[in-house]
Amino acid sequence: MCAPTLEKPKYAIKEPRNLSPRIQWLRDYYFQGVKRKWNNEFTSWTTGTPWDFQFNEASFYIVPETYAFLTTFTSSFRQTAYPVALHPDFWRWSLPERRAWFVREVMVHYLPKEILPGDLLAGARFNILASCCLTEKEAAEYNRLVHGKDGCRAAMLWLHNHGYGNAGATSGHLVPDYARVIEKGWKDIYAELEALYAELTEDEKKSARGGQLRAMMTAATMPRDLAAEYSRLCASLAETESDPARKAELEQMAANLTRVPWEPAETFWEAVQSLWLTHMLVMSDEGYPGPGDSFGRVDQYLYPAWQRSIAAGMDPEFGKEILKCFWVHANTAYDAMIRTGGNQGITAGYGQLITLSGMGAGGKDLTNDLTYAILDVIDEMSPILEPKPNVRLHRGSPEALLDRVVEMIANSQGAPFLLNFDERSIAGMLLQARKAGVEDLIRPDNVHEYAPVGCLENTMVGNDRSGTVDNNLNLLKAVELALTGGYDLIPYTDPMTGITEKAVRHGPDTGSAESLTTWDQFWEAYAAQTRYIIGKMVEVYETSEAVRARFNPTPYLSCLVRGCAQKGLDVTAGGAELSFTTLEAVTYATTVDSLLAVKYLVYDRKVCSLPELVQALRDNWVGHEKLQALALNKAPKYGRDDDEADALAYRVMELWTEETWKHKTRSTNRQFRPGMLSWNYWIAYSDILPASPDGRPKGKFLSNALCPSNGADINGPTANVNSVGKALGGKGEPGDWQDYRNLLPNGGSHTITFNPSILRGAEHRDRFKAFLRGYIENGGTALQVNMLDAEMLRDAQHHPENYRHLLVRVTGYNAYFTTIGKELQDEIIARESHQMR
């Protein structure tokens, strides 16, 4: 999932361009949303048993906004489910076999198939919620484990309500082995499954392993059978089509679908068709539309077919036309709950990420014609949400690519893509190889094949499930527990019952505030509480991980993840060759700044005692305004390229990441690994976590991922970037990749906002390119570039404390926006909103 971006301004929004009538129509139609006659809304399907259900709630445990609706979702999907006539042997099969058969049955024989007007790709509806296919006994056990007193829902709610964060076994967030399907076809996957099954002994065939392989064989025929249905549909539409051009297209589509995705793709059209059908069925299989089901390096694995088709005379513009249809299809994922929230359904960003450019073996750049064609497609289609592009940059990135990237950034409010930085990312992946003992799978000679999923989470491709949004931990909770010796600072009050919990010590007894007389003692208390909150989250995650491993197999997806067939183990049970779950730390800068403030206020300057600080926090700073001002304005902060503050930032990073590596899931043996995504939790938890020592009152936003706290980066973007790089480990020998170090294999989210004037004119654009090259050297793993807009300037007028760093720079003059008068601010706002056009 992707971090939500703030609402876009109502003016000066970038417009799509260079769209053919076909694409214009499809795009416009898509944006009609609920008014559309056709849509891809969830349909629900049942085995017809009274205990049946479809909705796998653990997949939503990481979305606190849905907690109030979990029961409603479960029962409404149950009530609206269509029955499916079951195979006579259905209940004699193992659970994975039942599920594989059921999903295939729905997709091939029940779900309506349509081709939208002018569409060049088949595969329209895919959002289904299929029966979990449990027996009565299994369902009872599932209910006990999920809804029982000690079930995973209760455990998850406790974690959330007490401000630790959230955890749950979530769907998606991986790059399936799409490259193999395009290159070798599903028949290759099927043949391998058949061979592996044939090698089993009779006893093994009767075991869970045999059942899993049979389930995967069933699943592997789903794309073939569905393509055959669509082929017939295209052929029949062609027969009645009066426009000869369209007729020819439909005939070609019918022909494509007789080959792919079962056979290897020859032409570019076939390759994109194969990719789409294969991808959409992952979403059907998981019953969740595109939660970070990512495509990986499309400009690499689609390139051979692109070259063949270009050589055979395909107009590159037609190739782009096919891709634009693909873009429209990817966006229909949002139709799943289209009626619940305006045109865009669910609030989450789905993050079907595509990766462009980046280095290959030996650091050689892999940018090609298709990279640029896809960038054109992004430019011409945007603004549009899916697929989310990510451009990989590295020292060897060509000038032409940077020119195009900067041009695209200049022409939109923010970059229409995320930038990923290879050297830093790769250093993290190689650290992961060492830490987890998988040096045979992540090596210096193959690590360049990595790709981000969801938003920016780095993983290997085709054999890796790293559960990149499964665990979201508020590091700040450890500061709170260190201040109180293991108690919640403010006891939790249930909003429904109004009952306030008795004060119970949850964390270890690290001593009262009175007893922590030195900074070193305080740090030790913080470290102990950090170990505790990580252990607590691991424990809570285990509850839903274990349930999913037993009851929610995804045999179709398992076919696309190397390791599952070989082990005869579903991907949900730890079948992937690289099987990780990621602990994403949230509130990082707020935590670092809080520690810096404690050190400054209590131990260095002795402005107050620790008990006095605790009281100020209990009072939410009310009546302690001077102390709060000192914390906000005088204590050091992360993000200013201040070596001392950044050294503490690194110490915090090292502590929690080292602790994270110590854990594995018990049920599935997945190794925990560290990352920093923080999605929207920095907003969501700002009302749950109490006031913090950095001066933040309850309710004020926490810090976002790796970013410095709002307004803390007063030394500008380069200082901000340098701090981020240092927090990750900076550079030095020995690095994990050249001299790069990176404690976060998953990577961390980093957003910087610029004034659009930084991109006016060729000279300034060159400077911005150089800034990005500087980022490659000094920065983090991923960067979202935002261009400051007038809306934000208005926000700066209302909340100057968040924008102290915002520099207004006009030739020969500089001043912080928030230090100048209202009248002048208005003038600048008026000018900026003009400049945006």
Partner 1 sequence: MSGIGGTILHLQRLSTEDGPGIRTTVFLKGCPLRCAWCHNPESIARYPQVHWIQNRCIGCNTCLEACPRGGLRRGETGLIIDRAVCQGCGSCAEACPAGALEVLGRAVQADDLVEELLKDRAYYEKSGGGVTLSGGEPTLQPEFSAEVFRLLRGAGISTALDTCGLCGQATLADLLPRCDLVLYDLKLLDSRQHRQFTGADNQRILENLTWLCGQLAREGGARLWIRTPLIPRATFLEENIRGISAWLADHTLGQVERWELCAFNNLCRDKYARLDMDWEFAADGLMRADELAQAGEWAAQGGFDRARTFVTGAARME
Stretch that binds partner 1, among 101-109, 281-289, 504-512, 806-814 (CB under 8 A): 806-814
- Site for partner 1 (CB under 8 A): which residue of 778, 786, 794, 795? 778
Amino acid at 204: E
DSSP, res 58: G
- Asked whether position 521 contacts partner 1 by CB under 8 A, the answer is no
- Site for partner 1 (CB under 8 A): which residue of 361, 687, 770, 826? 770
CB 832 within 8 Å of CB 756 = yes
- Asked whether position 812 contacts partner 1 by CB under 8 A, the answer is yes
Stretch that binds partner 1, among 257-265, 326-334, 518-526, 825-833 (CB under 8 A): 825-833
- Asked whether position 85 contacts partner 1 by CB under 8 A, the answer is no
- Asked whether position 718 contacts partner 1 by CB under 8 A, the answer is yes
- Nearest distance from C-beta of residue 274 to partner 1, angstroms: 41
Adjacency order of strands within the sheet including 751-754 = 353-357, 388-393, 418-421, 782-787, 751-754
34 vs 770 by CB, closer to partner 1: 770
- Site for partner 1 (CB under 8 A): which residue of 90, 774, 786, 795? 774
DSSP, res 796: H
- The whole-angstrom separation of Cα 433 and Cα 737 is 12
Q: How far is CA 529 from CA 526, 582, 590, 601, 745, in A?
A: 5, 20, 16, 21, 24
Beta bridge partners of 673: 582
CB 259 within 8 Å of CB 231 = no
- Asked whether position 777 contacts partner 1 by CB under 8 A, the answer is yes
- Identify the CA nearest to 674 among candidates 577, 780, 748: 748
Rg, the chain, Cα only? 27
- Asked whether position 715 contacts partner 1 by CB under 8 A, the answer is yes
Q: Is 767 helix (H, G, I), strand (E, B) or coil?
A: helix
- Asked whether position 783 contacts partner 1 by CB under 8 A, the answer is no
- Site for partner 1 (CB under 8 A): which residue of 13, 248, 499, 824? 824
497 vs 811 by CB, closer to partner 1: 811
- Asked whether position 17 contacts partner 1 by CB under 8 A, the answer is no
- Site for partner 1 (CB under 8 A): which residue of 184, 308, 773, 794? 773
- Asked whether position 756 contacts partner 1 by CB under 8 A, the answer is no
- Site for partner 1 (CB under 8 A): which residue of 627, 652, 677, 689? 627
Stretch that binds partner 1, among 380-388, 568-576, 736-744, 803-811 (CB under 8 A): 803-811
- Site for partner 1 (CB under 8 A): which residue of 256, 413, 459, 818? 818
- The whole-angstrom separation of Cα 231 and Cα 237 is 10
Looking only at residues 547 through 566 of this chain, which bind partner 1 when binding is defined by CB under 8 A? Answer: none
Stretch that binds partner 1, among 83-91, 214-222, 577-585, 756-764 (CB under 8 A): 756-764
Stretch that binds partner 1, among 361-369, 505-513, 660-668, 805-813 (CB under 8 A): 805-813
Structure tokens at 614: 């605790």
- Nearest distance from C-beta of residue 369 to partner 1, angstroms: 27
Residues with Cβ within 8 Å of residue 383, at least 6 apart in sequence: 8, 13, 14, 16, 412, 416
- Asked whether position 505 contacts partner 1 by CB under 8 A, the answer is no
559 vs 808 by CB, closer to partner 1: 808
- Nearest distance from C-beta of residue 779 to partner 1, angstroms: 9
Residues with Cβ within 8 Å of residue 405, at least 6 apart in sequence: 375, 391, 393, 415, 417, 419, 772
- Asked whether position 813 contacts partner 1 by CB under 8 A, the answer is yes
Q: Are strands 807-810 and 813-816 parallel, antiparallel or unpaired?
A: antiparallel
- The whole-angstrom separation of Cα 122 and Cα 508 is 57
Structure tokens at 579: 């099987």
- Nearest distance from C-beta of residue 777 to partner 1, angstroms: 4
410 vs 828 by CB, closer to partner 1: 828
- Site for partner 1 (CB under 8 A): which residue of 766, 786, 794, 795? 766
- Site for partner 1 (CB under 8 A): which residue of 33, 316, 444, 716? 716
Q: Is 386 helix (H, G, I), strand (E, B) or coil?
A: coil
- The whole-angstrom separation of Cα 701 and Cα 417 is 25
Q: What is the dihedral of CA 729, 734, 737, 741, to 10 degrees?
A: 0
- Site for partner 1 (CB under 8 A): which residue of 244, 313, 362, 821? 821
- Asked whether position 811 contacts partner 1 by CB under 8 A, the answer is yes
Neighbouring C-alpha atoms within 13 Å toward the C-beta of 638: 32
**E-only strand ranges, 454-605:** 457-459, 464-465, 471-474, 578-586
- Asked whether position 722 contacts partner 1 by CB under 8 A, the answer is yes
- Site for partner 1 (CB under 8 A): which residue of 771, 781, 788, 793? 771
Residue indicated by tokens 């590596």: 661
Structure tokens at 77: 């999907």
57 vs 832 by CB, closer to partner 1: 832
- The whole-angstrom separation of Cα 291 and Cα 453 is 9
Stretch that binds partner 1, among 82-90, 354-362, 408-416, 771-779 (CB under 8 A): 771-779
- Nearest distance from C-beta of residue 797 to partner 1, angstroms: 10
126 vs 771 by CB, closer to partner 1: 771
- Identify the CA nearest to 112 among candidates 233, 220, 278, 30: 233
Size of the site for partner 1 (CB under 8 A): 47
Q: ∠570-576-579 over CA atoms, to 5°?
A: 115
539 vs 766 by CB, closer to partner 1: 766
Stretch that binds partner 1, among 225-233, 245-253, 578-586, 828-836 (CB under 8 A): 828-836
Element (H, E) at 421: strand 418-421
- Nearest distance from C-beta of residue 420 to partner 1, angstroms: 18
Looking only at residues 628 through 657 of this chain, which bind partner 1 when binding is defined by CB under 8 A? Answer: 629-630, 632-634, 641
- Asked whether position 626 contacts partner 1 by CB under 8 A, the answer is yes
537 vs 630 by CB, closer to partner 1: 630
Q: H helices within 779-821, ranges in order?
A: 790-798
Stretch that binds partner 1, among 217-225, 312-320, 481-489, 766-774 (CB under 8 A): 766-774
DSSP, res 110: I
- Identify the CA nearest to 513 among candidates 485, 552, 473, 489: 485
The residues that touch partner 1, with contacts defined as CB under 8 A, are 625-627, 629-630, 632-634, 641, 715-719, 722, 757-758, 763-764, 766-767, 770-771, 773-774, 777-778, 800, 807-815, 818-821, 824, 827-828, 830-831, 834
